[in-house]
A = this chain, B = another copy of it.
Amino acid sequence: MDRITDLEVRDIRFPTSLDRDGSDAMNPDPDYSAAYVILRTDRPDGLQGHGLTFTIGRGTEIVVAAVMALRPLVVGQPLAAFTGSPGAFWKHLTGDSQLRWLGPEKGVIHLATAAVVNALWDLWAKIERKPLWKLLSGLSPAQIVELVDWRYLSDAMTPSEAQEMLDRLVSTRSARESEIIASGYPAYTTSAGWLGYSDDKIRRLCREALADGWTAFKVKVGADLEDDRRRCSIVRAEIGPDLPLMIDANQRWDVAQAIEWVQALAPCDPLWIEEPTSPDDILGHAAIARALAPFGIGVATGEHCQNRVVFKQLLQAEAISFCQIDSCRLGGVNEVVAVLLLAAKFGVPVCPHAGGVGLCEYVQHESIFDFICVTGSHEGRMIEFVDHLHGHFVDPCVIRRGRYQAPTAPGTSITMKLESLEAHGYPSGEVWKRLRAKKP
C-alpha cells in the first residue's frame, strides 16, 4: 500500500515589483510568490505531488508555517485515504478542530489547505498518467459528488441535485472532450491593462494582443477616474466596439462610489466590473449588481472569496453575473468543484481568476472539467490569462489564438523547474541574494 512519507514546503518569491507587473488599485507592488508543497511517497517510481498557493510577497512565510501545521495530517497516511475518498480526506484536513479556530476555512489556514490539497491531486494525476482535467472527467457523478464538503450548502443545493445534474451530461462527455482537444478553451488577456503601464505601452500591448488572436481584454481601474476614462477609451478604441472589455477595481470602492464610478465608465461598454468593493460584502455586491443591471454591466468577483459558503450567498443574492473561482483561495480542487456545481445550478458562468504564479496552469484544468462534466457549455465563459512567469513551469499552459489548449502532461501543470525553485527560494535563493547585494 502506497504511503505519503514526506511533505516539504518552500517559500518561493519572484521580484515582480521591480517592473510593476501586476500593479492594481490595491496592490501597487506585488512580488508574486508561492508557498510551494512537495509530497513524497514510498512508491518505487519516485513520483512527487507538487502544489502551490499564490501569495504576493511578505507573509508567504506565514502560509509556509500553516502548511507545516497541516503536515501531520498528511505524512504517514496511505495514499488510498485520499484517492479512495478525496472528499473525506478534505474534511480530515479542514476539520482539525484546533486549526479550524484560525479560520474557519478562510485566510492563511485555507490558503495552506489549497496548496496541500492541490499537491495531493497532482500526485494522484501523475500516478494515473493523466492531466488533472482528464482524471476529473473520468470520475463518475457519484465520485464527483463525494469530492464536495456539503456542510452549509443544503439550503442552496443538495448532493442528489448535483448528482442529477452530472448524470445528464455523462453520455455526451466524450464529444466535448474531443471538442476541447481540437479547439481549446476561450480566454481573455489582462496583460495590457495594468495600472502601472503608460498609455503607449497599453496601446502597443493591445495591438500585439489583437495580432496574437485575443478577443477579450481586461483593464485595471479604481485609482483615478479621469485616468480610468482615458485608459479604458484607449483600449476600447484599439479593440473596436464589438469585443468584450472588462474592468477590475480590486476592492477599491464603497458601494455607492462603485455604482457612481462604473456608471461613469459605462460609455466604454464594459462587460463586467470585477471586485468593485470588499470581497466580504455580499449584500454590497448585490446592491451594485442591481444598480448596474440597467447599463448592461455585470458584477464579477471571487479571487478573494474565501470559501464555498460565501460563493453560495453571492449566487443566492444574485450578486454576481460572473463567478471567478480562484484555485488557491478556495481550499483546492475539491472546493472549486463545489463552487462549479453551485454556479451551474444558479446558471452563472464561471470565469476563473488567473495570473499570479501558477493560477493559469491550475484553472485551465478546472474550466475544462466544468465544460466536459458540469455545464456542457463554455458559452459566455472565459479564463483569465496573464503572460507572466510561465517559463518557470515544466509544463506551462499553452495559448493559441487566445485559447487555452488542453494540457496533455500528467498532473496539474504546476511542477516548477528545479532551477527556478532554487533561484527564487526566499530569502536565500540566488535572485534574492543578488538583489540584496545591489541595495545601497
As a 0/1 sequence over residues 89 to 131 of chain A, the CB contacts with chain B under 8 angstroms (1 = contact) are 0000000111111111111111100000000000000000000
Residue of B nearest to A112 (CB): B62
Report B-chain residues with C-beta under 8 Å of the C-beta of A348: none
Report B-chain residues with C-beta under 8 Å of the C-beta of A251: 104
A57 to B101, CA, bound (A): 9
Report B-chain residues with C-beta under 8 Å of the C-beta of A27: 97-98, 101
A236 to B32, CA, bound (A): 57
Query: What is the minimal beta-carbon distance from A395 to any residue of chain B, in angstroms?
Result: 26
Instruction: Count A interface residues, CB 8 Å.
Output: 61
Query: What is the minimal beta-carbon distance from A156 to any residue of chain B, in angstroms?
Result: 9
Count of identical protomers in the assembly: 2
Report B-chain residues with C-beta under 8 Å of the C-beta of A55: 98, 101-102
Query: What is the minimal beta-carbon distance from A101 to any residue of chain B, in angstroms?
Result: 5
Residue from A96, A105, A284 whose CB has the most chain B CB atoms within 10 Å:
A284
A55 to B104, CA, bound (A): 12
Residue from A58, A284, A304 whose CB has the most chain B CB atoms within 10 Å:
A58
Residue of B nearest to A287 (CB): B155
Which residue of the partner chain, among B57, B65, B101, B106, contacts A56 with CB atoms under 8 Å?
B101
Query: What is the minimal beta-carbon distance from A106 to any residue of chain B, in angstroms?
Result: 5
Residue of B nearest to A31 (CB): B98
Query: What is the minimal beta-carbon distance from A254 to any residue of chain B, in angstroms?
Result: 4
A101 to B357, CA, bound (A): 14
Which residue of the partner chain, among B103, B152, B283, B287, contacts A277 with CB atoms under 8 Å?
B152
Report B-chain residues with C-beta under 8 Å of the C-beta of A28: 97
Q: Is the CB of A279 within 8 A of B104?
A: yes
Q: Is the CB of B254 within 8 A of A153?
A: yes
- Ranked nearest first, the 5 interchain pairs of A and B with the lowest CB-CB distance are A107-B107, A108-B108, A57-B98, A58-B98, A155-B255
Q: A residues near B, CB below 8 A?
A: 26-31, 55-59, 61-63, 65-66, 69, 96-111, 151-155, 251, 254-257, 277-284, 287, 304, 306-307, 309-310, 312-313, 316-317
Having A59-B66, A281-B309, A282-B313, one finds 13 other A-B pairs with CB under 8 Å, namely A30-B97, A55-B101, A56-B101, A59-B102, A61-B69, A102-B107, A106-B106, A107-B108, A107-B109, A152-B284, A154-B257, A155-B255, A155-B287
